[in-house]
Amino acid sequence: MKNIDGKISIIVPAYNEAGRIVPNIEETIRTFDKFGCDWELILMDDGSSDDTFTLADKLSLKHPQRLIIKRNPTHAGKGRALKKAFRYVSGKYVVFLDADMDLHPAQVQTLFDIMRLDNADIVIGSKLHPNSVVNYPLQRRIVSFGYYLLVKLLFNLPCHDTQTGLKLFKVEVLQKVFPRILVKQFAFDLEVLVNANYLGYKIAEAPIVLNAQRAFGRIGVVSVFTTFWDTLTVFYRMYILKYYDRIDYYRRKKLAKESRRLRR
């Protein structure tokens, strides 16, 4: 990996991926080994009902210094899995990477290039970038564009696509943002980016090559409704309830109290 001055922590959330998890992890290992950088991979199994965790855990025996395999006892949602996996991160940079290999990990190099060139704190892969090449079902295209319009209307973020499963963060961004996050499922990415933007972190977008590995994906009516509802909830917390500002206030108050106690 060119121009990388620190360790990379790759977080992979996984749910019922037993049929592909081993070859996909092995491909990720090969890719980052070719990059020649210091890295670790944290796979968080989100309460799978198949052998995802067992197979990944067995593979970790071959790469004990590289693979960290953990699991939630129940299926709590992708956001919860990412947030929990962050506890085990030791890198300077954090990559979010989906387990299904819709997005090949070699594309991480592009995200790092853009981070350096734009002096960005966050770089997100975008299906709506003009240079992206996407091959996925019409249903997902319609949902993605509709969601972009909703997010643009509500938040006016400096990006077009908040939901693509390939993202790069400087670790300090997530250290500041994650304590503010409440969403556990599909609007988790949005809540992270809304808070990062609010705190003044610079977000840049990168083109991607996406090849859907599932004919129809996992987007159903319930998922769409949950995402819509959670999105409105994030808007309510940010602009009406001012919840995130209150978090900062009480955290500063707690730190000040602790500082006074230590000085006694």
Q: What is the CATH number of the domain that holds 182?
A: 3.90.550.10
Evaluate whether residue 39 is within a structural domain.
Answer: yes
Q: Is the entire prediction scored with pTM above 0.85?
A: yes
pLDDT band at 212 (very low <50, low <70, confident <90, very high): confident
The answer to whether 126 touches 206, Cβ cutoff 8 Å, is: yes
> For the chain, what is the domain count?
1
Tell me the per-residue pLDDT of 25-82, one tens digit each, with 9 for 90 and over. 999 999 999 999 999 999 999 999 999 999 999 999 999 989 999 999 999 999 999 9
Find the range with the poorest average confidence among 15-19, 171-175, 248-252: 248-252
Helices 221-235 & 188-198, crossing angle to 10 degrees? 20
Residue 3 in domain: no
Residue 55, in any domain of the structure: yes
Query: Is 182 contained in some domain?
Result: yes
Burial (CB < 10 A; 0-12, 13-18, 19+), residue 36, is: exposed
Chain Cα centroid distance, residue 136: 20
Task: Output the pLDDT for position 207.
Answer: 97
Note the Cα 209 to chain centre separation in Å: 17
Query: Which tokens in the block code for residue 133?
Result: 């090449």
- Which is more confident, 5 or 69? 69
Integer-rounded Cα radius of gyration of the chain: 18
- Predicted confidence at residue 38, as pLDDT, reads 95
Question: Distance between CA 253 and CA 11 in Å, rounded?
Answer: 32
Mean pLDDT of 168-186: 93
CA distances from residue 235 to 35, 99, 139 in whole angstroms, order as listed? 39, 29, 25
Cα dist from 74 to 45, 48, 49, 82, 120, whole Å: 9, 8, 9, 14, 35
Query: Cα–Cα distance between 11 and 16 in angstroms, integer?
Result: 16
Residue 215 belongs to a domain:
yes
Q: In 3D, which of 53, 51, 39 has the Cα closest to residue 11?
A: 39
Domain ranges, residue 31: 8-263
Tell whether 2 is covered by a domain: no
- For residue 90, tell me if it sits in a domain: yes
Query: Looking at the domain assignment, is residue 1 inside a domain?
Result: no
- Beta-carbon contacts of 236 under 8 Å, excluding residues fewer than 6 positions away, are none
Question: In whole numbers, what is the pLDDT of the chain averaged over residues?
Answer: 91
Strand partners, 219: none
